[in-house]
Structure 1
């Protein structure tokens, strides 16, 4: 069971992608972060596994060096993610498999002298990436798995006399709540990172990381709704962490498109990072910037090429941070550090968070 002590300061959790190869720690402003979640650790044969051990070893050792700049910085391994969640269901299936998984995860943080484990299972009991295993009983097994990891972390805490964290990243939509036991699960957790992004619709150009619903083109998901639903599901506000997107979602719209927002979509893809958007696209190269005041969300549209991009910017980040302060949330997290290396959004987070 986690103590209900509320953190004195808001957390700023940055996901750092080790899946690309070596991480250049000189580009990370450690003093502006409270936590780094190293993404990702794989799940194989019911165990947490460093898939590229040589690279991962170097990355984890280097990330630890950032504590020289910021002694309070916490480094966690993030297990799973979109591409590596296919074996979670098997790992969570039995007492034996859960114990093997928990032991292997905690062994990694012991070996590399890290501060905790973040579980990013996409998703328990519902489909994620094509080919992922999922079962109805994931709903209960997810809780049991977290309990087992927490027990292993508690043992390590006793040995090392330092706090070890357990956090999860969760789908920012109602169906995730329906297929988990968040009221029970939260007792083992320090933070629940709300993935309040990728809210886009494949049929029409909408927002992907909006705080509120758009009146121009209302959609099913938005961050305010996600927060309220997790609160209702039994997670205390101080454990809930608002997700910020450092990347965009990009759409090519159909030929009759005139305004961008609300127009019909031809194709969609993962978009550019915010540094590139701000420096090279906003009000340049035929792109015009717009801001949807109701949704507190920005986008750019090129009426000639019919390209539309939805993203977080300084204005939307300010609004999200205000919301975090007002609702006494735990803080913010973002995906992903590489997408805004100039730190435009991280600077704004540091300015706006209490």
Structure 2
């Protein structure tokens, strides 16, 4: 090709390329007005959608970050054991328990708090240390039947929660010891409110204590009378609760025992299975009526035996098993000429299943120091039933 032809070809190529780019620039920047507005509207919608999608994504992420997570532990049933303040903490097996309830702190009429000396305080501290190593929570119970200064605890507790100043003082004392001793919560054991005014004062006390403890992510439980007569099966009306109170607590520990006092003295009415059935039905209906979760309900069982001879003392389940392990299969035993009534393994397992069948949140025992060691431990028997229920619930949620 000659130079002249080569130059001509280059001119033609450059002219074509220039026209192409010029046309493209013109078509992009000189659209009709209607088309330009339509494109802008589309672009705005796309930008708006993008912003909305991002906003929804961020909102969803925020909700996921702030909502309580449903963990396996949240579905687990509790196993709560009371332990008296004189028990050697080194003798307690914490491994099967979700909660230890250390008993008792004693209220004064002006809202102060008493423990049974340095021994009780040291035992509390050792219990907390040992329990936390096993991931077991420790709560401090206030009240009980007897007061450290003699007489019924009711006489002191009633006065303390009747006066607003003393009531607030008692709340502050309980919160203070919970913080100071690294407790996981407080258990209220007011035995028992005997009038509507008592019930209202107890509700006010419970609400005030609940508000502060829950802000600190600590738990609140309350021990309640069985509220059912062990012989005739009707409601006991000389113990009064305000049902709205139960919304403020995490656990309601039903003392489904001591029925032997309901009709004169009859040791066989300590805590037989039919009596417990009536109790479970009563509390189930009460909570359903007031639309309160049954998961708050915790069924209590006795780890002690009641003698037919009222002049004899109670004995522990451990004493019964130490006499003969065969007694684990029974609910009555005769030792040294005295007949005792108690709950053996079969009855305890049956009661645990009864509680689970009614949607209860777990089981409670009075008290851990009375249990037998080894394979006939009632704590172990309950724990195995609860563990099976927990495993089943976990599998259903997968």
TM-score of the aligned structures, taking structure 2 as reference length: 0.69
Aligned-residue offset at 1:322: 1.0
Match of 1:322 in 2: 353
* Structure showing the higher helix proportion among its residues: 2
Residue 62, structure 1, aligned to residue 126, structure 2: yes
Match of 1:148 in 2: 208
1:9 to 1:176, Cα distance in 2 relative to 1, 3 A: farther
CA distance in 2, matches of 1:321, 1:116: 24
Aligned-residue offset at 1:209: 1.4
CA distance in 2, matches of 1:16, 1:350: 17
Q: Give secondary structure in 1 for the equivalent of 2:318.
A: helix
Q: What are the superposed Cα offsets for residues 101-148 of structure 1, whole Å, 9 maximum, x if unpaired?
A: 1111111111101011101111112xxxxxxxxx55102111111011
Q: Give secondary structure in 2 for the equivalent of 1:117.
A: strand
Spell out the pairing of 1:112-131 with structure 2 (5 A cutoff): 112-125=181-194
Greater C-alpha radius of gyration: 2
CA distance in 2, matches of 1:176, 1:108: 34
**CA contact 1:289–1:301 (8 Å) conserved in 2:** no
The match for 1:279 among 319, 322, 329 is: 322
**CA contact 2:271–2:342 (8 Å) conserved in 1:** yes
**CA contact 1:123–1:176 (8 Å) conserved in 2:** no
TM-score of the aligned structures, taking structure 1 as reference length: 0.77
Query: Unpaired segments of 5 or more residues in structure 1?
Result: 126-134, 158-162, 213-221, 253-266, 292-297
**CA contact 2:174–2:186 (8 Å) conserved in 1:** yes
- Bigger relative contact order (CA 8 A; separation at least 6): 1
Q: What are the superposed Cα offsets for residues 297-352 of structure 1, whole Å, 9 maximum, x if unpaired?
A: x21247x93x2211111111110111122111111110111111415111111112
The match for 1:169 among 203, 210, 223 is: 223
Aligned-residue offset at 1:232: 2.4
CA RMSD of aligned residues (A): 2.5
Aligned-residue offset at 1:281: 5.4
Spell out the pairing of 1:102-117 with structure 2 (5 A cutoff): 102-117=171-186
* Structure showing the higher strand proportion among its residues: 1
1:176 to 1:14, Cα distance in 2 relative to 1, 3 A: farther
1:30 to 1:176, Cα distance in 2 relative to 1, 3 A: farther
Aligned-residue offset at 1:282: 6.8
CA distance in 2, matches of 1:289, 1:57: 34
1:121 to 1:269, Cα distance in 2 relative to 1, 3 A: farther
Q: What are the superposed Cα offsets for residues 58-116 of structure 1, whole Å, 9 maximum, x if unpaired?
A: 11211122245312x11000000010322111111132222111111111111101011
1:172 to 1:7, Cα distance in 2 relative to 1, 3 A: farther
Aligned-residue offset at 1:199: 1.0
Aligned-residue offset at 1:289: 8.8
Spell out the pairing of 1:1-354 with structure 2 (5 A cutoff): 7-18=74-85, 20=86, 23-71=87-135, 73-84=136-147, 85=153, 86-125=155-194, 136-155=196-215, 157=216, 163-173=217-227, 174-175=235-236, 179-182=240-243, 184-201=244-261, 202-212=264-274, 222-234=275-287, 235-252=292-309, 267=310, 269-280=312-323, 298-301=331-334, 305=337, 307-342=338-373, 344-353=377-386, 354=389
Query: Unpaired segments of 5 or more residues in structure 2?
Result: 1-67, 148-152, 228-234, 390-398
Moved more, 141-150 or 89-98: 89-98
